[in-house]
Chain A
């Protein structure tokens, strides 16, 4: 959107830069008085000064905030926005950074162009248009930052929720928690098979205590995992089958075949130790577990 008449914004911004910056900082300090803990005065001052500087030089070349001349300003706002996400600011607090510049800027325009109302209206409109577009840009970047955080957390969860632990020499346990949709099942299967190789385990216990629903797809995934482990020379025991799950599996008609199943992880460990040739002996008879 090229403008017919060149704007006087850069000129006014240039001549009153320090004043505008001081007023703007004061205004921001008032708005964010309760957010002092999140950002230092020094950082805010530095960000504000660079933005003002960028605004001035970009407005001197082009008035389209999406144009190449504004790339630097947009990048700067992007950085500020991303750091605000991390610092814990809300989206409106982040956008206020840009919007709060309006008041000090308009005050200067008012004073400079008091004699020419038409120019005043035009410059005010230009400034509003620019700052609105830049304010919305910060919100968009903020949103993207949030989405990245969510995606990272999902990936973390994917990794976290499928730990394979070594219970005993040669005995692995895979405590499954949550829903077993296909992408997670893949991760589960891979990490179990890898651990079987790494630890040379002969027995793997898959515990489904934390799986709320076992439908035919989950059952099929379990059977496939057991089959793959078996091909690698490890026997699998499925533990944590609660009464309601057992009844449901029967009604579904799922045949678990010759897979060894147990209701508790403790029972499964007993079998696993037995198979691995271990004998656990209590040395102090009569002492109940505390």
Chain B
């Protein structure tokens, strides 16, 4: 699996969030994703980036464009040094929220992407890797 291009972006403020969405959209367009898929990937990125800001206290995003033979993918890695997620199962459940949102962001992002994995340790931070393959 070859990494064609990597971009690193800060995810700390609302302006960062706008830039992160734009970078992800650019990557999805460059890899030839359909309009529907572009929208899904950007929306998932928006959810995860907002979680990084609100729950993780800010962090970083890595946007990778991958190629494997004829297939291509976009991989998003969000890293924060926040309080971590105590119960990942619970956090992914629809309607569960520790904030004031709808509680659909994390579960929704998982449904919008091909694969989403969360590694988190209390008090150490959270790393979320989300990938979407182009069919």
A residues at B contact (CB < 8 Å): 179, 181-182, 212-217, 219-220, 243-245, 247-248, 251-254
Contact = CB atoms under 8 A, between A and B. Distances in A.
Contact of B108 (A182, A216, A247): A216
Given A213-B39, A213-B42, A254 B102 contact: yes
Nearest to A247: B36
Given A220-B101, A252-B47, A252-B108, 5 more contacts: A244-B36, A247-B39, A252-B104, A253-B108, A254-B104
Contacts of B14: 181-182
B102 to A, nearest CB: 5
A241 to B, nearest CB: 12
Contacts of A247: 36, 39-40
Contacts of B75: none
Nearest to B50: A217
A215 B47 contact: yes
Given A179-B18, A181-B14, A219 B112 contact: no
Contact of B50 (A214, A215, A253, A254): A215
B107 interface: yes
A217 B108 CA distance: 12
Contacts of A220: 101-102
A215 B94 contact: no
A201 B14 CA distance: 33
A24 B38 CA distance: 60
Q: Which 10 A-B pairs have the closest CB atoms?
A: A252-B108, A244-B39, A215-B46, A244-B36, A251-B111, A216-B104, A216-B102, A248-B43, A181-B14, A253-B104
A253 B36 contact: no
B123 interface: no
Given A220-B102, A254-B102, A213 B46 contact: yes
Interface size range of chain B in the complex: 20 to 34
A215 B104 CA distance: 10
B94 A245 contact: no
B134 interface: no
B111 A252 contact: yes
B50 A248 contact: no
A100 B32 CA distance: 55
A252 B107 CA distance: 7
Nearest to B97: A216
Interface residue SS majority, chain A: helix
Interface in B18-39: 18, 21, 25, 35-36, 38-39
B111 A219 contact: no
A59 to B, nearest CB: 45
Contact of B39 (A248, A253, A254): A248
Nearest to B42: A213
A121 to B, nearest CB: 49
B105 interface: yes
Given A216-B101, A251-B40, A244 B108 contact: no
Contacts of A213: 21, 39, 42-43, 46
Contacts of B25: 212
Contacts of A248: 36, 39-40, 43, 112
B111 A216 contact: no
B43 A215 contact: yes
B29 to A, nearest CB: 12
Given A216-B102, A216-B105, A244-B35, A253 B47 contact: no
A245 B112 CA distance: 12
A216 B99 CA distance: 13
A220 B108 CA distance: 14
Contacts of B101: 216-217, 220
A287 B38 CA distance: 40
Contacts of B18: 179, 181
A181 B18 CA distance: 9
A218 to B, nearest CB: 8
Contacts of A216: 47, 101-102, 104-105, 108
| Most chain A C-beta atoms within 10 Å of own C-beta, residue among B35, B108, B111 | B108
